[in-house]
Copies of this chain bind each other. A is one copy, B any other.
Amino acid sequence: MNLIDGKKISEIIQLELADEVKQFVAKGNRAPHLAAVLVGNDGGSVTYVNAKVKACERIGFKSTLVHLDEKITEAELLATVSKLNDDSSIDGFIVQLPLPKHINEQKIIEAVDPKKDVDGFHPSNVGRMALNLPCYLPATPYGIIQLLERNKIETSGKHCVVIGRSHIVGSPMSILLARNAYPGNCTVTLVHSRTPDISKFTRDADIIVVAIGKPHFLKAEMVKEGVVVIDVGTTRVDAPETKNGWRLLGDVKFDEVAPKCSWITPVPGGVGPMTITGLLQNTLLAAKKSIY
């Protein structure tokens, strides 16, 4: 069994990014600039946004945090988005989700200029992904693709089962792994809540991507020997014995599944760390105008 060390790969990519930024700036360009819009004070969102801002600083990006009151109206938020779209000193920006309930999330997502949509959530970027055109890939799928690539894991002709059809992980993963590319060229089966017998499919899989948000869902008897397992689950559970008072559980019963795997991602330290890295990579692409 080989561990897919997302923490280490993420660190390596971020070092490479820092180097690229240095060269980019040395050529007379200003540093890439990411803005993050945070509405309200949801604990998880504040943590995520701070981590993103910190990562920017670490690798030499400029970052701007736009922190708005929870009571902001949809029209005011749209005006902020429009300002960021027009601000030529900003290469890319994200609006941290979820938003307060009185704001239509989809409307905000579609208001972001696709050229600055480094989260890859705008329909135009999603469509470009499906059509195998240059685009910003959503951060988590982008991270998973790179975990496979950096570990030189064979994907062509393999049967990949993706568990969960969310718009931010499962559905894009199923599209990306079926593309005529590397990583890709998999036979892809997308299973979900309406699949009567998920085990029937996972037992046949060479590669499994689990993104269903149910801790310890994937068990040893559901996989075959030699499988590659990518665990996207990150459910917080109380853990009074830890410093934070909680810990992360993946969607895979790691202890019993890992011995059967050729490759497996741990939780934490697998897919998670790659997400911010994907966002940083998209921002550099935006600064370099590589996509649009």
Contact = CB atoms under 8 A, between A and B. Distances in A.
A196 B206 CA distance: 13
Interface residues of A, number: 36
A253 to B, nearest CB: 22
Contacts of A157: 194-196
Contacts of A201: 187
- Copies of this chain in its oligomeric complex: 2
A106 B133 contact: yes
A73 to B, nearest CB: 23
Interface stretch (A55-63, A122-130, A235-243): A122-130
Interface in A108-151: 122-133
Nearest to A123: B127
A186 B179 CA distance: 20
Given A157-B195, A192-B187, A194-B157, A130 B130 contact: yes
Nearest to A188: B190
A189 interface: yes
A201 B179 CA distance: 18
Interface stretch (A14-22, A167-175, A219-227): A167-175
Interface of A: 106, 122-133, 156-157, 165, 167, 171-172, 174-175, 178-180, 185-192, 194-196, 201
Given A122-B127, A187-B194, A188-B189, 12 more contacts: A123-B128, A123-B133, A124-B124, A124-B127, A126-B126, A130-B167, A131-B167, A132-B167, A165-B179, A187-B195, A188-B190, A189-B190
